[in-house]
């Protein structure tokens, strides 16, 4: 069958370097770090005492206080970013067929703070089981798309994808395929996460996954640098309106770019460590190219998973060199996690938005905080170090990989009428 074309018609971002799409893009191209000491709780006794929190965000500016109390922060973030994306798309909600509009959302953890606080409150009590009646609805990962659909009346497919840090990329791929196959006209997709909590930070510290560069938080997320020592935990949300091309054209929609394909794979290797030979990462990029109908030499830019971990960064770059061969040195490679930190299940969403805006504006955001070259990384690769670079990007890819060996890659292309 002839697959339908899918385009991006709306974007929304709530990130540690900007609470709107415009602010996020400005932070990216200026190389702003979102890392700072934790303010949500007393982190004095933690190995890591900093994170990439949202700045100057007050949920009651967007959601009624009574309603907001019924939601975990990850759901609040989802509603705020999806509202911005829907407004950006200029969809007339009274004119579209809401039976053909879905919401497919990614979250790696869901309501972690809600779960943590309910358990702490119970443990501090006398053993009587007193729990918030909204405990379960606030905690479950699928409540974010549920709330987006309830607010807007969207009655198409509605669910959450959970694949750790690949969650929102998997959500985008599912959304792409539903529209390609003609099941939906429009899908709100993306992801949100709010894991900067006592249990979130404590758990990742116990795994030795986080940077402990407490003396200089703003330089702690340093992908590809020889002195990188782990990722920096982030939070927020990204929302993307995917729409069938003819549907978008018929209503005169602004089109950012086309989504041309996606790939998925599994490392089948280890719970948390990447395969040292990058076998799963090689497979996911090859799958994405094949699914998109692209050749390796078509790709101008890759936003890597690039978490700033000693093993992961090297494995991913070796995989890129393997897949793209000599052309790898012609690709602008970057890691926007150097600025935003790692948003876990929302990472794929905000990084896809960075790629979409790169295609739109012809500027590749930098990989900041690089000061010392790693001898295990090919010096011929253009890692877009420390300063944004102007480039006409026609085709770009976004990589996301999650604990459990989950790999996802999405490809975007400047619209070819």
CA gap 253, 389 in Å, rounded: 29
Provide the 10 A C-beta neighbour count for residue 283: 20
230 Cβ contact partners less than 8 Å away, ≥ 6 residues apart: 208, 209, 210, 211, 212, 308, 309
Rounding to the nearest 10 degrees, give the CA dihedral for residues 67, 41, 140, 62.
Answer: 30
Chain center to CA of 170: 10
User: Angle, to 10 degrees, between the axis of helix 310-324 and the axis of helix 279-292?
Assistant: 40
Q: What is the CA radius of gyration of the chain?
A: 20
**Secondary element (H or E) of residue 50:** strand 50-51
Residue 251 · residue 190 · CB < 8 Å: no
Tell me the three state secondary structure of residue 260. Answer: strand
**Structure-block tokens of residue 368:** 């900041």
CA gap 7, 11 in Å, rounded: 12
From the candidates 301, 342, 370, 406, which is the catalytic residue? 342
Provide the 10 A C-beta neighbour count for residue 107: 33
Chain center to CA of 411: 14
Residue 111 · residue 143 · CB < 8 Å: yes
342 catalytically annotated: yes
Burial of 185 (0-12, 13-18, 19+ CB in 10 A): buried
**Structure-block tokens of residue 336:** 């926007």
Query: What are the strands, taking DSSP E only, across 146-273?
Result: 158-161, 186-193, 236-244, 257-266
Residue 159 · residue 142 · CB < 8 Å: yes
From the candidates 247, 301, 305, 406, which is the catalytic residue? 305
370 catalytically annotated: no
Chain center to CA of 46: 26
Residue 78 · residue 145 · CB < 8 Å: yes
CA gap 163, 142 in Å, rounded: 13
- Catalytic residue numbers read 165, 305, 342
């Amino acid at each position: 069958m002839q697959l339908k074309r899918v385009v991006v018609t709306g974007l929304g971002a709530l990130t540690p370097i900007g609470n709107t799409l415009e602010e996020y893009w400005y932070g990216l191209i200026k190389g702003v770090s979102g890392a700072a000491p934790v303010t949500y709780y007393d982190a004095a006794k933690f190995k890591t005492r900093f994170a990439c929190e949202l700045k100057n965000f007050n949920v009651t500016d967007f959601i009624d206080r009574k309603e907001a109390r019924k939601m975990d922060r990850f759901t609040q973030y989802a509603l705020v970013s999806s509202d911005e994306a829907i407004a950006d798309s200029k969809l007339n909600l009274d004119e579209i067929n809401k039976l053909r509009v879905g919401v497919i959302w990614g979250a790696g953890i869901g309501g972690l703070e809600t779960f943590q606080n309910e358990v702490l409150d119970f443990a501090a009590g006398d053993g009587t089981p007193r729990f918030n009646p909204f405990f379960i609805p606030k905690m479950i990962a699928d409540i974010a798309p549920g709330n987006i659909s309830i607010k807007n009346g969207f009655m198409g497919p509605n669910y959450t994808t959970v694949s750790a840090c690949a969650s929102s990329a998997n959500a985008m791929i599912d959304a792409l395929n539903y529209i390609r196959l003609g099941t939906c006209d429009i899908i709100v997709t993306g992801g949100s996460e709010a894991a900067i909590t006592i249990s979130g930070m404590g758990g990742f510290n116990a795994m030795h996954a986080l940077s402990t560069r407490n003396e200089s938080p703003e330089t702690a997320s340093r992908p590809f640098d020889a002195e990188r020592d782990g990722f920096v935990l982030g939070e927020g949300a990204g929302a993307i309106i995917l729409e069938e091309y003819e549907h978008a054209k018929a209503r005169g929609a602004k089109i950012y770019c086309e989504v041309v394909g996606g790939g998925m794979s599994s490392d089948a290797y280890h719970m948390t460590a990447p395969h040292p030979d990058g076998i799963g990462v090689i497979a996911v990029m090859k799958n994405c190219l094949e699914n998109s109908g692209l050749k390796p030499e078509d790709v101008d830019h890759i936003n890597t998973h690039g978490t700033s971990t000693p093993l992961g960064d090297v494995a991913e770059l070796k995989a890129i060199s393997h897949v793209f061969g000599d052309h790898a040195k012609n690709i602008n490679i970057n890691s926007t996690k150097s600025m935003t930190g790692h948003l876990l299940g929302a990472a794929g969403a905000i990084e896809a938005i960075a790629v979409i805006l790169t295609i739109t504006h012809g500027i590749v955001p930098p990989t900041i905080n690089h000061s010392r070259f790693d001898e295990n990384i090919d010096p011929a690769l253009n890692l877009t170090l420390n300063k944004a670079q102007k480039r006409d990007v026609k085709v770009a890819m976004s990589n996301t990989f999650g604990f459990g060996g989950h790999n996802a890659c999405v490809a975007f292309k400047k619209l070819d009428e």
